Amino acid sequence: MEPLDRIDRDILALLQAEGRLSGAEVGRRVGLSQPAASARIQRLERSGVITGYRAVVDPVALGLNIHAVVRLRTTHARLAHALDFASRVPEIVSVLRVTGEDCLVLEVHCPQAGRLEQVVDALARYGPVTTSLVLRAYPRKPLADATAASSEGRSGPDRKER
Amino acid sequence: MEPLDRIDRDILALLQAEGRLSGAEVGRRVGLSQPAASARIQRLERSGVITGYRAVVDPVALGLNIHAVVRLRTTHARLAHALDFASRVPEIVSVLRVTGEDCLVLEVHCPQAGRLEQVVDALARYGPVTTSLVLRAYPRKPLADATAASSEGRSGPDRKER
DNA sequence: CTTGAAAATAGACACCA
DNA sequence: TGGTGTCTATTTTCAAG
């Protein structure tokens, strides 16, 4: 679990943007030979930094025209049931258990409003629900290493670049 | 933009789970020859169903120990500035513009609470903010084609399997 | 869509700087 | 650790059925 150096961070940025790059291509872009790049990638995979690779699919291209964020406020007793329900509904693609008034923040992709209504109604069995339609989803950003420089000022001890 | 058949949906499920599968391996698993599988994958890519491939990175492995959902309620005039700010802060990895009281739902990954405080404070310049710490993120599910069968009942016209 | 062959590439290894 | 060269395994592309 060594801290990642500059090259590791570059590799992560590359692979988060283009997950199918070959070791040789990654090497080319970060200034390393193919074996060296492949070795680093393997190290990142084995150490659990890279947990997998996913194809990204466009919801609209699948007819999933409605994207919503649903917040659910439930009781401790009902939480497990709500989670179980959420895990069984394919339209609920993301489940976050959070602190605060709401207990769960869910992301839902549905073909039409009617289906969203069904999902929301079903969720409402577990507690009060707040539904927001997503008007626009901005492109998700890659995760950057905590030691990487940020654009905003920081507090705490001086940052030292390794 | 033909409707996807069963095999296309299987391929999407496979690739959303394991984005680096080869055409040959995909073919094996869906019962197709390698050229046929590769052709379908290309078709899905070119038609915009598959928009890319990403490596998935573990935030904790990067020292990003704090994961939060921040909801921002801002004015129309300030919205553009808030979006601009969000795009410049690497810790803000997801931005959703939504309907309802809140205008934006943001996901933030920070190394420590101090950094989250900075981000939240900065966001608060654009309007009232509600912050929830993520206690647990359940694994994201693959997107399933709208024509695929769901576990819950549905309304509207009878479903017909093709 | 399948099979079969060819061309291109990627990944793995051994050895050296 | 990284670079080079090489060898092998895979992949992809293409021609034909």
Contacts of A88 in chain B (CB under 8 A): 151
To the nearest whole percent, how much of chain B has pLDDT over 90?
Answer: 87
Which pair of tokens denotes residue A64? 């999933």
Closest CA to B99 of A70, A113, A133, A110: A133
Left (φ > 0), alpha (ψ -120 to 50) or beta: where does A142 sit?
Answer: beta
Could you tell me which chain B residue has the CA closest to the CA of A110? B146
| For chain A, the helix, strand and coil percentages under 3-state DSSP, each to the nearest 5 | 40, 25, 35
Which of B12, B16, B105 has the CB atom closest to A69's CB atom? B105
Alpha-carbon distance B94 to nearest alpha carbon in chain A (angstroms)? 5
At B116-132, the pLDDT tens digits run: 999 999 999 999 999 99
Per-residue confidence (pLDDT) for residue B153, from 0 to 100:
41
Left (φ > 0), alpha (ψ -120 to 50) or beta: where does A151 sit?
Answer: alpha
Q: Rounded mean pLDDT of A110-124?
A: 98
- Cβ-in-10-Å burial (0-12, 13-18, 19+) of B3 comes to exposed
**Judged by CB atoms within 8 Å, which residues 36-55 of B form the interface with A?**
47-55
Test A140 with B94 for CB contact under 8 angstroms. Answer: yes
Strand partners, B71: B105, B130
- The helix (run of H) or strand (run of E) holding residue B34 is helix B34-46
Per-residue confidence (pLDDT) for residue A149, from 0 to 100:
56
Say how far A44 CA is from C17 C1', in Å.
26
Q: Rounded mean pLDDT of B32-61?
A: 97
Give B102's contacts (C-beta < 8 A, 6+ positions apart). Answer: A132, B71, B72, B73, B130
Alpha-carbon distance A117 to nearest alpha carbon in chain B (angstroms)? 10
Strand partners, B56: A52
Q: Which of A88-97, A109-118, B35-44, B153-162 has the least mean pLDDT? A: B153-162
Average pLDDT value for chain A: 92
Residue with nearest Cα to nucleotide D14 C1': B35
For B22-151, strand residue ranges (E) read 50-57, 66-72, 92-98, 104-110, 129-138
Confidence class of residue A146 from pLDDT cuts 50, 70 and 90? confident
Chain center to CA of A146: 16
Per-residue confidence (pLDDT) for residue A158, from 0 to 100:
42
Q: Is the pLDDT of residue A107 over 70?
A: yes
Q: Rounded mean pLDDT of B13-33?
A: 97
Per-residue confidence (pLDDT) for residue B149, from 0 to 100:
56
